[in-house]
Chain A
Amino acid sequence: MLAQQLANGLFLGAVYALFAIGYTLVFGVLDILNLAHAAIFMATAFAAIALVGAGLPLALAIAIAVVFAGLLGIALDRVAFAPLRARNAGTLVPLISSIGVAIAIGGVARGLFGPGEHRFPSGTLGPLGEGRIHLGALAFSGLDIVILGVALALMGTLAYVMRATSLGRAIRAVAEDRVAAALLGLDLERTIALTFFIASALGGAAGILIGLQYDSVSLEMGSRIELKGLAIVILGGMGSITGAVIGAFILGAVEVLSVAYITSSYRDAVAFGVMFAILVLRPSGLLGKRALRTA
């Protein structure tokens, strides 16, 4: 029973991690809180539904929707953050402009898709949706395995990009010291745009996976995960990718366990209680901001 709960926590944590990485990546590079991240998460899930509805196979629909999410991220930066960056507007104003974009994205989604719960067309999952896979005492659906696999593959790719490519070096350099990076000839705006592409693509992928997992996509799905994402990022340490991943798996496990063994009604309070305690006792989180710089 405990093992099954922990396995469920693992699936949940993997998706949380994808989402939270987006927050922490943008914060690490720009020191701003991007409150439009959850809107992109939601919009991407809707985009995937629309693409599947138009007859595309699921894998292709996911790929196109994730690229769409990345481009949306770049657009977000150009509209809401780049002009403010140019005049050194501090941390409060970008927070507000990202809320503006989030409201606008929510409005477009409401206009195009309307309120209520939306589902992927039946049969989208094919054989993945049927039957259970048994592994000892554990049981999963094929979808669980695919979701975990996709999430881990994306995280692995990100780790590779951050450590071993010139783009990763550029992102870490900008996170370390923006001015010095620019002086050394780094194309600042291009690096920031690519950071937003990666952060939003991962957040969008998380949206699709959650939508598939619960077979439900709605306008409110973003606000449900938004603050949890913040809790994860604080737990792991603002700006730390590894920290966000660890924090996400911890939160996934804690949530599943508190539903199973304590009570479901205070499930979300546990997440925020942990976050609050971390902020009071150790504001730098499990792994402080340095981790993005040295990733």
Chain B
Amino acid sequence: MLAWFAAHSKLIDQIGINALLALSLSISLRSGQLALAQAAFMGIAAYVGAIGAVEAHWNLPLSLVIGSLCAAIAAALLALPLGRLRGVFLAIATIGFGEIARIVEINVKATGGAEGYANIPNDANTAWIYGTLGITGALILIFERSRAALAIAATREDESAARGVGIDVTAVRFGALVAGAALAGCAGVLYAHANYFITPSDFGFARMEQILVGCVIGGVTSSLGAVIGAAVMTILPESVRFLADYREVSTGAILLAIVLFAPDGIAGLWQRRA
């Protein structure tokens, strides 16, 4: 058991971080916002946390707090101009924001540019990652029983109706985006501190696609689903290594199969039976 754990610890850490990212996206998706800047928020926090740790010797908790705070501030500043965008337009605007963030990371001196930023203390171990995931899960479970969770669901299902019953839709959307960004920030700091080394392309559109796919195949409105989806999307490419160069084909095909045959994601499989 211990040997198995040691052999797969990298993968296990990766699953935890991807699960945090999927949860962070599901928070904004639950409020009906197709906002695809999670990878950018992750990157902002990763760089802030990593630079703080290397230059100013922050410990991991301090990196986590300041990193995710910066991600939340970025989200708040982004939410203001984008407040009136919906659907695909919001998606494209947030993708654009992500690209701008990545290009800035490539060109600014402080980040080490395209070659990446190295020597990050490697102190985010499995306990830190799964501790963060556990706390996040508990907070989400508590939150799901609150009135605010109903306001989020109402905003997603029908904005006008939600407004009609007195829900401050703008505040709900703003809050969901900022909370999701803060969580993505935590994941970003953990990612940086679990890898020694980060580059701007770690936080590009490919990462965003990976987060989105994990979240959606799990089931958008289920936290457990998002975690399972992230785990599946992390393990799948590893488990079909025998397909060598063709292994992406199976990833694409399974993704497609889940979208087509399990419309509510993996979580929908047990939710429907229940």
**Does A104 interact with chain B (Cβ within 8 Å)?**
yes
B contact residues, range = 35 or more
CA distance A279 to B91 in the complex (A): 11
A100 touches B259 (CB 8 A): yes
Provide the main secondary structure of the chain B interface. Answer: helix
Residue of B nearest to A87 (CB): B263
CA distance A108 to B243 in the complex (A): 11
Known: A231-B96, A268-B99, A279-B96. A107 touches B107 (CB 8 A): no
**Does B93 interact with chain A (Cβ within 8 Å)?**
yes
Within 8 A of B (CB), among A250-295: 265-266, 268-269, 272-273, 275-276, 279-280, 283
**Does A227 interact with chain B (Cβ within 8 Å)?**
yes
**Does B128 interact with chain A (Cβ within 8 Å)?**
no
Residue of B nearest to A269 (CB): B103
CA distance A27 to B89 in the complex (A): 11
B99 touches A272 (CB 8 A): yes
A contact residues, range = 35 or more
A238 touches B88 (CB 8 A): yes
CA distance A114 to B245 in the complex (A): 8
**Does B106 interact with chain A (Cβ within 8 Å)?**
yes
Contacts of B248 in A (CB 8 A): 103-104, 106-107, 110
Nearest chain B CB to A263 CB, angstrom units: 9
A96 touches B252 (CB 8 A): no
Known: A100-B256, A101-B252, A226-B205. A273 touches B100 (CB 8 A): yes
The segment out of B9-17, B181-189, B209-217 that lies at the interface is: B209-217
B212 touches A91 (CB 8 A): no
A110 touches B245 (CB 8 A): yes
B259 touches A108 (CB 8 A): no
Binary interface profile of B, 249-274, with partner A (CB < 8 Å = 1, else 0)? 11111011001100100000000000
The segment out of B50-58, B79-87, B158-166, B171-179 that lies at the interface is: B79-87
**Does B150 interact with chain A (Cβ within 8 Å)?**
no
CA distance A273 to B100 in the complex (A): 7
Known: A111-B246, A238-B89, A265-B106. A89 touches B263 (CB 8 A): yes
A96 touches B255 (CB 8 A): yes
Contacts of B88 in A (CB 8 A): 27, 31-33, 91, 95, 238
Within 8 A of B (CB), among A46-100: 79-80, 83-84, 87, 89, 91-93, 95-97, 99-100
A223 touches B255 (CB 8 A): no
**Does B95 interact with chain A (Cβ within 8 Å)?**
yes
Residue of A nearest to B260 (CB): A83
Contacts of A97 in B (CB 8 A): 255-256, 259-260
Contacts of A87 in B (CB 8 A): 263
**Does A45 interact with chain B (Cβ within 8 Å)?**
no
CA distance A196 to B195 in the complex (A): 42
Nearest chain A CB to B14 CB, angstrom units: 18
Contacts of A84 in B (CB 8 A): 259-260
B247 touches A107 (CB 8 A): yes
Nearest chain B CB to A24 CB, angstrom units: 12
Contacts of B99 in A (CB 8 A): 227, 268-269, 272
Nearest chain B CB to A258 CB, angstrom units: 12
A223 touches B252 (CB 8 A): no
**Does A155 interact with chain B (Cβ within 8 Å)?**
no
Known: A227-B99, A275-B92. A93 touches B256 (CB 8 A): no
**Does B62 interact with chain A (Cβ within 8 Å)?**
no
B81 touches A280 (CB 8 A): yes
B256 touches A91 (CB 8 A): no
CA distance A101 to B248 in the complex (A): 10
**Does A234 interact with chain B (Cβ within 8 Å)?**
yes
CA distance A92 to B212 in the complex (A): 10
**Does B130 interact with chain A (Cβ within 8 Å)?**
no
B92 touches A93 (CB 8 A): no
A279 touches B89 (CB 8 A): yes
What are 22 A-B pairs with beta-carbon distances under 8 A? A33-B92, A87-B263, A91-B87, A92-B220, A95-B34, A95-B91, A97-B255, A97-B256, A97-B260, A99-B209, A100-B213, A101-B252, A103-B255, A104-B248, A107-B251, A108-B249, A111-B244, A231-B96, A266-B107, A273-B100, A275-B92, A275-B96
8 A-B pairs besides A91-B88, A107-B249 with CB distance below 8 A are: A31-B88, A33-B88, A89-B263, A92-B216, A97-B256, A103-B252, A104-B249, A106-B248
